[in-house]
Amino acid sequence: MQTTLAIIKPDAADKEDEIAWRIQREGFSVKMRRRITLTKEQAGEFYQEHVGKPFYAELVKFMTSGPIVVLALQKFHAIEEWRKLIGPTNSHKARETAPESLRALYGTDNTRNACHGSDSPKSADREVLFFFGGVTSP
Ligand code: ATP
């Protein structure tokens, strides 16, 4: 079993019930859940790898614009499976190439893209620690 960190971003937080249904149907179990509103400092720290990129300020502004839902999801190959379920970063591309993906269904563009997913086991560990203090057992 693997754990990944999923975020339902501010643009899709009000669709949590629909997304939760999809998460369940795709065979993930929700180990932990928090609904929070990030401060600018927290969003900046979470996305520290993007500091200096042209979209960084817009990303931090978006991620602090309302509540988010943070989930620790468990499944075999959870990291890859969740990234497959959310689809490509750009929601326009997602609608073309993965129309059933969460970003195709709930995202708007390249920044407002509904969901986040850890991109490696190392990121998943860091991100679970960031939001849940590293508690990964049931
Ligand atoms: P995430 O990390 O949220 O799962 P990702 O791995 O697909 O998404 P990253 O490259 O890690 O994408 O970028 C983090 C977030 O920054 C993206 O989800 C998106 O909201 C925003 N972003 C990434 N690239 C761009 C871009 N070129 N223009 C605008 N926003 C972007």
Q: What confidence tens digit (pLDDT) does each residue in 40-57 have? A: 999 999 999 999 999 999
Q: Cα(114)–Cα(11) distance, rounded to whole angstroms?
A: 6
Q: How many angstroms separate the CA atoms of 87 and 26, rounded?
A: 14
* Candidate from 56, 73, 89 with most ligand 1 atoms within 8 A of CB, to mutate: 89
Question: Could you tell me the domains of the chain?
Answer: 2-37+66-132 (3.30.70.141)
94 lines ligand 1 (CB under 6 A): no
- Whether ipTM > 0.95 holds is no
DSSP 111: S
Which residue is listed with tokens 């993906």? 101
What is the tens place of the pLDDT at every residue in 71-113?
A: 999 999 999 999 999 999 999 999 999 999 999 999 999 999 9
User: Which residue reads 């949590």 in tokens?
Assistant: 16
